[in-house]
Structure 1
Amino acid sequence: MVMGKSEKDFFESCKIAAEEILNHVKKEEFIPIFSHNDPDGVAAGAILAKAVYRLGGNFLLRIIERLDEVTINEIEKIHSNFYVFAEIGSGYLDVLRKLSEKAKILVLDHHRPLELSYPNLIHVNPMLHGIDGAIEISGSGVCYFVAKEMDEKNLDQSCLAIVGALGDLQDKTKNRCLQSLNKQIVEEAKNKGLIEVTEDLLFYGRETRPIHKAISTTMNPFIPGLSGEEDKCLGFVVNLGIPLKDGDRWRSISDLTQEEKQKIFSQLTIYLSSKGFSEESIFQLVGCVYTFLEEDKWTPLRDGREFASLLNACVKMGKPGIAASLCLGSRGETLDEAQNLLNEYRKTIGQCISLLMETPKTIVEHEKMYVVRCYNIVDEKMLSPIATILSISGGLNPNKPIIALTNMKDGRIKVSARASQTLTDKGLNIGLIMQTAAEKIGGKGGGHSVAAGATIPHGKEEEFIHFVEQMIKETI
């Protein structure tokens, strides 16, 4: 791979971070690792934890939801000379400054960074080197390159970095394939014989579930009338004249002939077009399939997106420890519990989407955006996936960003925002808008150009919405 200057500088920063971790391992110092509570964050933390473990280092891996004063006070109770933050931290460098007065801090992230630097801070972020952290490399990808610098044995963590990138929806390209530095990680995994990449229909459980169940459990994209509706999916397949069984065995998507796959895709294209879906949304059903060859067949961990879906469900259902255990190699009962959580999560998501669609004045179209008021309908942990599903479901105008809001347990308001790649290509940066608008009213926000979030004070919602819409108008 021919590297530009920015990539060389990025890899040099990864090397510096690796040397810092190695130095603390050699000193036999305790290394607390804090990672974000999403699939990419859990994978990132697990990659670093395993890298330190292999060297005989002492570490703690903790999954955290956010960085604020309360979290920092809790972290300070864990005494160490060195704290590591994985897939979180770049947007909270101001909050972390307090911690740097007592110890060294290493931030490995890919979100939009604050323009801050101070003593005792080592900050690795691809965006500091002109690399887009939204589509070119994930947080787990950053941690993978650091781990690889620590020891070449950590090349086998490439699969986790791929899971993290898919969990972060970095495959939101037209062909649903990972690009740039993410693709480099895929190639390294292929060279190690760890992964096979093919192009196919992207239904959940394409190798492990009967055809109709695979269609019904697909949430990305969300198919109105079919996602979550197993009986209707059964009828859909039967009406196409496609055999559901081969003898006594249920057939899976991977068992279908090319002609049968084309028949399903063609019929879904007609159906989704009638529902107002764009061509771009419909083609989200086809893309690169990432198969992990060392995982057991007939388990969801063999497929990169299904692995990421399991991690996401565990985190959103309040069980990040199960997600971390999966990433660190636990299977058996851990996998069974994760699958149960996924089933519960999908049921919850389906109920939330239905309620939002049925409840008047929850989804309101503005001149330049949609505002989705999810109060008392969507839990704060579910807001992000709900915003994502709404943004890719095809039922809303893709040329308008989506701003979703809901109540938090501590009384504040959580915001999750999504924008299409088409809008970002025109110059829209929803992460910058979230950061700026939140700060204007005493909140905190940030993220990527296509996906971002914020936490704002209760009672400031309409003021926040006004600022967001004004900035969108000024941009596009």
Structure 2
Amino acid sequence: MVGIDGATDISASGTCYLVARELGTGNLDLAGLAIAGAVGDRQLFQTANAFILEEALKAGVVSIRKGLKVGDGNLAEVLAYSTEPFLDITGYPEKAAEFLNQLGLSGNIENLSAEDISKLASAVALKLVRQASPEAIEAVIGDIFLLNRELVHNVYDFISILNTCGKQKVYGLALALCLKDSTIVNEVLSLTKEHEKNLALDIRKNVEKIRKGENIWYINTVDALSTGSLATTVVRYLHPELPFICLNESEGIQKVSARGTRELVSKGLDLAFALREAAGAVGGSGGGHSVASGASIPLGSTEEFLSIADRIIGDQLRKNAGGKAK
């Protein structure tokens, strides 16, 4: 309504922050939560997000360091069990250790020198350039936001904790972290470390089951740990040339997560429309953003849903390729 794109320019956290900001200048310390929301939603720091970031930097609420956009901790563990970035060594601790040995690196990532960070980032970039989308390299190398007023400073650790608490349905722990309850920090860090390890192994197992349609990549899963993480991983690091749709049967419901890239959106992709139409056609419901969307559909309607979504997405991409308006 005001020319700001909720898919790229401001998150729900950012919107809440702008309201809190108007309630009094004492609320500027909450800007770190807005930055975490934007990073967690993989947004761009332009328009509204740029305004929030500039204010946060000026107030010292947030600071920046350069490097690999991952959480802090032991290098081997971070690379073996982080799904951002998803590399050929992800899910394989012995391969991660061998990779680091070849680089002559060890210890905790936050303690690396600028030279070592550069060496690590270059080696990771070489792995990514072979298969990942262009925006994937941009997404994992560059500015790391440090949330100076939060209990967990590295923004990637912070959002990993919030995501884990959501997946594990321990919402109170996430809220306690945002309310700066220091008594729960060790608990949520341990919970997150275990969840991320399981998630990396789950994604590694599932990527072997991916299938290709005419205009999409897709997978059928049962009780996957995180369909959103799986979908994002595939479209960003494995098959960026087409959108990816993940269907997951859980608790008697068929849930759908779909992801694209900004490049595909520029070519006409609109996953919100595609999933809304395809889900509606089989008696379900769907929607979201052009680059990321979701749906719920009845059990047994998978093949019909995929066929309709595949056709709609193909029409979107062909229409734009033909030089017509989106």
**TM-score, normalization: structure 2?**
0.90
Q: For 2:122 and 2:94, how far apart are their aligned partners in 1?
A: 20
| Structure 2 residue 118 is matched with structure 1 residue 262 | yes
1:350 aligns with 2:192: no
- Find the aligned partners of 2:86 and 2:215 in 1 and give their Cα distance: 23
Please tell me the residue identity of whatever aligns with 2:220: R
Cα distance in 1, alignment partners of residues 125 and 115 from structure 2: 15
Structure 2 match to 1:450: 291
Deviation of 1:273 (Å): 4.2
Equivalent residues in 2 for 1:237-386 (5 A)?
237-242=100-105, 244=106, 250=107, 252-274=108-130, 276-295=131-150, 301-332=152-183, 334-358=184-208, 362-374=209-221, 376-379=222-225, 382-386=226-230
Aligned in 2, Cα 1:282/1:324: closer, same or farther, shift over 3 Å? Answer: same
2:182 alignment partner, SS class: coil
CA distance 1:218–1:351, shift in 2 (3 Å): closer
Question: Is residue 352–residue 377 contact of structure 1 (8 Å, CA) maintained in 2?
Answer: no
1:219 corresponds to 2:95: no
- Deviation, 1:197, is 2.1
Superposition pairs of residues 53-452 of structure 1, within 5 angstroms: 128-171=1-44, 178-205=45-72, 209-225=73-89, 227-242=90-105, 244=106, 250=107, 252-274=108-130, 276-295=131-150, 301-332=152-183, 334-358=184-208, 362-374=209-221, 376-379=222-225, 382-393=226-237, 395-396=238-239, 398-409=240-251, 411-452=252-293
CA distance, structure 2, for counterparts of residue 322 and residue 197 of structure 1: 26
Point out the structure with max Rg over C-alpha. Answer: 1
Tell me how far 1:422 sits from its aligned partner: 0.2
Q: CA deviation at 1:403?
A: 0.6
- The amino acid of 2:182's aligned partner reads R
**C-alpha displacement of 1:467:** 1.6
What is the CA-CA distance between 1:421 and the residue it aligns to? 0.4
What is the CA–CA distance in structure 2 between the aligned matches of 1:280 and 1:192, rounded to whole Å?
30
Query: Cα distance, 1:268 vs. partner?
Result: 2.7
Unaligned runs of 5+ in 1: 1-127, 172-177, 245-249
In structure 2, the residue matched to 1:111 is none
More helix as a share of residues: 2
* Gapped regions of structure 2 (runs ≥ 5): 318-326
Aligned-residue sequence identity (percent) comes to 33
How many correspondences in the alignment? 317
Q: How big is the alpha-carbon RMSD for the aligned residues of Structure 1 and Structure 2?
A: 2.0
What SS does the aligned partner of 1:302 have? coil
The 8 Å contact of residues 399 and 422 in structure 1, kept in 2 or not, is answered as: no
CA distance in 1: counterparts of 2:9 and 2:16, whole angstroms? 14
- 1:373, 1:404 within 8 Å by CA — same for their partners in 2? yes
The TM-score, its normalising length taken from structure 1, stands at 0.63
1:273 and 1:130 mapped to 2: Cα distance? 34
Structure 2 SS opposite 1:129: coil
8 A Cα contact 1:317 1:341, kept in partner: no
Greater mean deviation of Cα atoms: 451-460 or 323-332: 323-332
